[in-house]
Structure 1
């Protein structure tokens, strides 16, 4: 197993970022679409595998199981060359620091990749919502499956950040999330073989999911999936959420979660990984040239 020292990892991150910003816009969207769907695949798997676990093993084990399966999305993204906004929040700025590329090209990458991520996540949310998350009878009437009930519960929880301190908590969760996500990206870069990349990515992603942190692209799966399945809940199932103070809909998805989480994710990747590692290793990177 080949292991690259830290200075080479940072330099390789900058090289990766330089390559990414040079892609044409349509390619950024296409690769972003793939990664958005892959992250949604991990989120959908976490929804299914975490269902009912807390009732038997407690909330801690339920969180661990969700965290253990969710990393499949980033593993596929890294190993197949797809583009994820939250990873590019660190890689593109690293290229700007090392290779002096323009910040306009960084923002261009962020915008098109984010668009692709949104499309991919929404498409997979639809696939899950009308697939495993619902049951259909011979008349064409649908009802939420046990996994669908879990999906709605997750989504409702993600939009119910009401009040200043709750939103501050959401913001901090978003920063912490992308701090870990980009450490996973760096650990994926540090190994040249598939097994090394797998474990390098898996542990930090497992940590962020199990800790209950907030990922913007994953939430663009979690919340829409819940919104789509919500209409299939029975009155008794809806009553479980009667204590929620914020409704679950397309508006609250953005205002109560995704916008603030996107900002927090950007700060977590840009400053807590990109800037810190660039400052820490800038002299060694200069010596490599």
Structure 2
């Protein structure tokens, strides 16, 4: 069973109204939990994708990572937590329909972003100290999963840095593509009326964005610190050689990875792209499509509970 498109947009705008009214403590706490959930999917993607491309091909390797990553958004949506990238669409949609203020939208974004960052960092620390190293920092290098975490972080930062300004533009565009698909997943989750429908409505678009290689700022709050912390704990991997060649040419070329690389070459442009992808390419577009078709009970001034459709 599914809601009609106009009803879905009405429900989504009500969800946005509800989320923009949450107190700061709730935004931080729910943001923390969503940051953890997204990091859970990212960590699973790192582990399951390790060496997959080597044996199955690059495309299948991407598919495997994409297939397991959606657990994070599924958990976020179905438990009602707060994710910045989802609120980048739901908040503006509510504001376009006159159900909340733009000040409330910015307030939500600020505190949810902080909550997501803290949750992502906490889970990255757990993975580095746990599965990636088992706490053993006396060896020359960590296990294969940790090395893959470094490769992912390098690919999401130094690959853009290596081409200069156009790399920032590329990361920004990848952020747009990502949040276009993430918020499509959220709308499909709201459209569906049962668990199975919500599960697959969310799963397919998220699998698509991950397998395609788009950039999600909250997922990268896990991917990049996890890889950076592994590199900082085992700096010798920057000069590691395999068959007479650098194990990771970009890491070798730039002499390592820094927090500046993490923020400037990925998280900042990805965040801006995520905002545009969610607010403009989904929020504004669907507002323009259905602003004259919204059922009366979903128009501004009417009371409606977000109910079980609350999502990210």
Please, what TM-score do these two structures have when normalized by structure 1? 0.95
Mapped partners of 2:249, 2:286: distance in 1: 46
Do the aligned partners of 2:17 and 2:99 also contact (CA within 8 Å) in 1?
no
Worse-superposed segment, 150-159 or 97-106: 97-106
Q: Does residue 279 of structure 2 align to residue 270 of structure 1?
A: yes
Shift of 1:141: 2.4
1:241 matched residue in structure 2: 248
Structure 1 segment 209-224 matched on structure 2, within 5 A: 209-224=210-225
Shift of 1:55: 1.0
Do the aligned partners of 2:154 and 2:250 also contact (CA within 8 Å) in 1?
no
Mapped partners of 1:237, 1:119: distance in 2: 32
1:158 corresponds to which of 156, 159, 165: 156
Mapped partners of 2:178, 2:249: distance in 1: 29
Mapped partners of 2:294, 2:98: distance in 1: 11
Mapped partners of 1:43, 1:197: distance in 2: 20
2:201 matched residue in structure 1: 200
Look up the SS of the partner of 2:97 in the other structure: helix
Structure 1: which 5+ residue stretches go unaligned?
none
Mapped partners of 2:209, 2:117: distance in 1: 21
1:26 matched residue in structure 2: 25
Change (3 A) 1:243 1:259: closer
Q: Does residue 289 of structure 2 align to residue 280 of structure 1?
A: yes
2:138 matched residue in structure 1: 141
Structure 1 segment 88-99 matched on structure 2, within 5 A: 88-99=87-98
Look up the SS of the partner of 1:285 in the other structure: coil
Do the aligned partners of 1:43 and 1:222 also contact (CA within 8 Å) in 2?
yes
Mapped partners of 2:173, 2:280: distance in 1: 14
Change (3 A) 1:233 1:56: farther
1:226 matched residue in structure 2: 227
Structure 1 segment 113-128 matched on structure 2, within 5 A: 113-128=112-127
Shift of 1:172: 0.8
2:309 matched residue in structure 1: none
Mapped partners of 1:81, 1:99: distance in 2: 23
Please, what TM-score do these two structures have when normalized by structure 2? 0.88
Structure 1 segment 5-154 matched on structure 2, within 5 A: 5-136=4-135, 141-142=138-139, 143-154=141-152
Do the aligned partners of 2:7 and 2:295 also contact (CA within 8 Å) in 1?
no
Do the aligned partners of 1:135 and 1:145 also contact (CA within 8 Å) in 2?
no
Mapped partners of 1:187, 1:10: distance in 2: 10
How large is the Cα RMSD of the aligned pairs? 1.5
Do the aligned partners of 1:29 and 1:115 also contact (CA within 8 Å) in 2?
yes
Look up the SS of the partner of 2:26 in the other structure: helix
Shift of 1:164: 1.8
